[in-house]
A and B are shown apart, each in its own frame.
Chain A
Amino acid sequence: AQSVTQLDSQVPVFEEAPVELRCNYSSSVSVYLFWYVQYPNQGLQLLLKYLSGSTLVKGINGFEAEFNKSQTSFHLRKPSVHISDTAEYFCAGWGRRFQKLVFGTGTRLLVSP
């Protein structure tokens, strides 16, 4: 099956601490990978994307992600989180077979003071 796996359903972290949200993709997903963020009662906002080139991708709001082909991973990181980063984060990739975006199940980031 085409799959993108987000290993953590929820990540609690204190404000100003670093955070890593994990994402792994299967071989059925091409290496066109995305991270989206969803704030409460809103749609999805694109954080960053990897299409080709440098494996370290920088996005909005201080987030970055590293594409690792050997580990089939695309983990999202931020060196210092804010309360306002509390949201749900989705990793996605293009499915090779059905040519559509395949989403992970999401990781809820909970930032507390």
Chain B
Amino acid sequence: KAGVTQTPRYLIKTRGQQVTLSCSPISGHRSVSWYQQTPGQGLQFLFEYFSETQRNKGNFPGRFSGRQFSNSRSEMNVSTLELGDSALYLCASSLGLPGQRETQYFGPGTRLLVL
């Protein structure tokens, strides 16, 4: 079974621009979560989507948004980029059974550099 895939793997943007990152979960997984990883803050939860609905959200400004499609693929968008948004963005998928504490499987990440 193919793992979680993320595109693009690397991205360079300038301040003020916006960016869209894509994640394809493992086949059959319906939940997709996004995380931001930085040296200073470590791994921080952004949001989780299940069946095209945001099910959970971390403490990030509204510039960070996401969505999920009917095939469970997910995108996250960051508008008005700031230097501090430079990070590795990780996507994780799980079966998504409500109320279950499931195992999350991670993709390779998208490394975003904001200049």
Contact = CB atoms under 8 A, between A and B. Distances in A.
A3 to B, nearest CB: 12
B101 A45 contact: no
A74 interface: no
Contacts of A63: none
B104 interface: yes
A106 B56 contact: no
Interface stretch (A16-24, A76-84, A92-100): A92-100
Contact of B105 (A42, A46, A98, A99): A46
A7 interface: no
A43 B90 contact: yes
A72 interface: no
Interface in B37-80: 42-43, 45, 48, 56, 58
30 contacts: A30-B101, A32-B101, A34-B103, A36-B106, A41-B111, A42-B108, A42-B109, A43-B4, A43-B6, A43-B90, A43-B107, A43-B108, A43-B109, A44-B90, A45-B106, A46-B103, A46-B105, A49-B103, A51-B101, A94-B101, A99-B56, A99-B101, A100-B33, A100-B45, A100-B48, A100-B56, A101-B33, A103-B42, A104-B42, A106-B42
Given A32-B101, A43-B107, A100-B56, 19 more contacts: A30-B101, A34-B103, A36-B106, A41-B111, A42-B108, A43-B6, A43-B90, A43-B109, A44-B90, A44-B92, A45-B106, A46-B103, A99-B101, A100-B33, A100-B45, A101-B33, A101-B45, A106-B42, A106-B43
